[in-house]
């Protein structure tokens, strides 16, 4: 039996009357600037095995640097058998129908989908595909799997996370939040080695969406947070940092290493600038027993000269750790829901201020992508695919 919402059945339409195609924003992987509005097959519950399918009507999709790189053909592959890749990995939608073996979701529920899908490593087998050791990875909207910038998607209920009604306006921020959740969780997990770790001072490098969300998550955990960004304050991003009770510094005036030397080194540093040379500066700004989390996907080929002996010595004598983090599995989506809810309670209205650039409908895809290249003042550009 397939459950459908009253709205769909009430019109007298059955599943079979539905159009077989839908609109989606897609690229031809490998062809720069190939984003376009495409007609693609409309997903169906039956596409998902075991009765575990969920058909989701897409409401909002955010875009980020990954989408820009995919459209610049630096990244991204189409699913086998398709010559296009539907983009969009930051989703928010409403359940339209569920398969017979789905107990945890019902039509009308708001959901966000995880991004990575299992590969073949041991880590994939235990539900932690974010930790895959495979070279090939499957990510919806990024690599080998279609994304969500479309009218509908279907997926296994295992990959969907329910969003409470009160987070409806900001739910599209969950996927970027999960990147932060995983990084911070990994840091605390690693620091269990210390038996007692009481981080006090945190630095966040980068004041973009990820940097702001990292500052938020660290403030919710009670840390003293300094965010280092390029621009001088005041501007929206520095206002948002200060609204969290965190401090904002422009690296034009005070770099992370200078701050560590002048004040005190940092117990936890979260790097989210996209500028890899700053990593080596951050390594030198880390306190004894500190942890440095790296989250920037840097596709370039930059080389820098660093004081290698000095950095190595301080890492050894100070028992320091540096860890890379990518993607997020379901547990971090669930943690992200909690943090978004706590953020709404503690800093009401703060999250909505990140949603700076909405565009209306899939047809506005060019404007949407434009916000990624013409980025002044843009924190989060997103598409309002449908209302609901
Ligand atoms: C996405 C992650 C993904 C990473 C690497 C990021 O933009 O948010 O989910 O793992 O790109 O492809
Ligand atoms: Zn992303």
The 10s digit of each residue's pLDDT in 122-133 is 999 999 999 999
Q: Where are the CATH 3.90.180.10 domain residues in the chain?
A: 6-170+355-384
- pLDDT, residue 165, reads 98
* Helix locations, 139-197, DSSP H: 174-190
- pLDDT, residue 12, reads 41
Q: Say how far apart CA 141 and CA 97 lie, in whole Å.
A: 22
Q: Where are the CATH 3.40.50.720 domain residues in the chain?
A: 177-324
CA dihedral 81, 86, 90, 91 (to 10 degrees): -90
Mean local confidence (pLDDT), 270-281: 98
Q: Say how far apart CA 99 and CA 87 lie, in whole Å.
A: 25
* pTM for this entry: 0.95
pLDDT at residue 8 is higher than 50: no
pLDDT at residue 198 is higher than 60: yes
Tell the residue number behind the tokens 């895809």, with chain if given.
365
Mean local confidence (pLDDT), 100-114: 98
C-alpha 288 to ligand 1 mean position (Å) = 30
Q: DSSP letter at 268? A: E
150 in Cβ contact with 362 (< 8 Å): yes
What pLDDT band is residue 278 in, cutting at 50, 70 and 90?
very high
Domain 177-324 CATH assignment equals 3.40.50.300? no
- pLDDT, residue 376, reads 83
C-alpha 178 to ligand 1 mean position (Å) = 10
* CA 130 to ligand 1: nearest atom: 10
- pLDDT, residue 375, reads 75
Residues within 6 Å of ligand 1 by CB: 64, 66, 89, 115, 139, 142, 175, 179, 297, 326-327
Mean local confidence (pLDDT), 373-381: 91
280's tokens: 């080596």
**Looking at the domain that runs over 6-170+355-384, which CATH code has it been given?**
3.90.180.10
C-alpha 64 to ligand 1 mean position (Å) = 9
């Amino acid at each position: 039996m397939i459950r459908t919402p009253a709205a769909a059945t009430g019109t007298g339409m059955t599943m079979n009357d539905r159009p077989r195609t839908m609109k989606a924003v897609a690229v031809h992987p490998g062809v720069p600037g190939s984003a376009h509005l495409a007609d693609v097959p409309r997903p169906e519950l039956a596409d998902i095995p075991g009765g575990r399918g969920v058909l989701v009507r897409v409401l909002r999709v955010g875009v980020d640097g990954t989408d820009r790189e995919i459209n610049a053909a630096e990244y991204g592959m189409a699913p086998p058998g398709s010559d296009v890749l539907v983009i969009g990995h930051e989703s928010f939608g409403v359940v339209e129908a569920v398969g017979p073996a789905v107990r945890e979701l019902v039509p009308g529920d708001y959901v966000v989908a995880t991004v990575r899908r299992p590969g073949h490593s041991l880590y994939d087998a235990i539900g932690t595909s974010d930790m895959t050791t495979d070279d090939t990875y499957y990510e919806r909207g990024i690599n080998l799997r279609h994304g969500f910038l479309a009218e509908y998607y279907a997926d296994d209920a295992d990959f969907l996370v329910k969003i409470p009604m009160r987070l409806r306006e900001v739910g599209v921020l969950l996927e970027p939040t999960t990147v932060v959740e995983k990084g911070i969780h990994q840091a605390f997990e690693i620091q269990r080695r210390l038996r007692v770790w009481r981080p006090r001072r945190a630095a966040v490098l980068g004041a973009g969406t990820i940097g702001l969300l990292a500052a938020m998550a660290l403030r919710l955990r009670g840390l003293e947070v300094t965010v280092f960004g390029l621009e001088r304050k005041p501007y929206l991003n520095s206002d948002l940092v200060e609204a969290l009770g965190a401090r904002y510094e422009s690296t034009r005036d005070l770099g992370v290493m200078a701050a560590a030397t002048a004040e005190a080194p940092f117990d936890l540093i979260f790097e989210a600038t996209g500028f890899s040379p700053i990593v080596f500066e951050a390594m030198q700004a880390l306190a004894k027993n500190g942890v440095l989390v790296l989250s920037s996907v840097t596709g370039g080929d930059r080389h820098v000269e660093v004081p290698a002996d000095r950095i190595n010595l301080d890492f050894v004598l100070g028992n320091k750790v540096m860890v890379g983090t990518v993607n997020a599995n379901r547990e971090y989506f669930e943690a992200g829901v909690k943090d978004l809810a706590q953020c709404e309670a503690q800093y009401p209205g703060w999250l909505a201020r990140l949603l700076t650039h909405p565009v209306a409908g899939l047809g506005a895809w060019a404007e949407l992508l434009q916000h990624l290249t013409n980025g002044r003042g843009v924190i989060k550009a997103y598409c309002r695919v449908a209302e609901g």
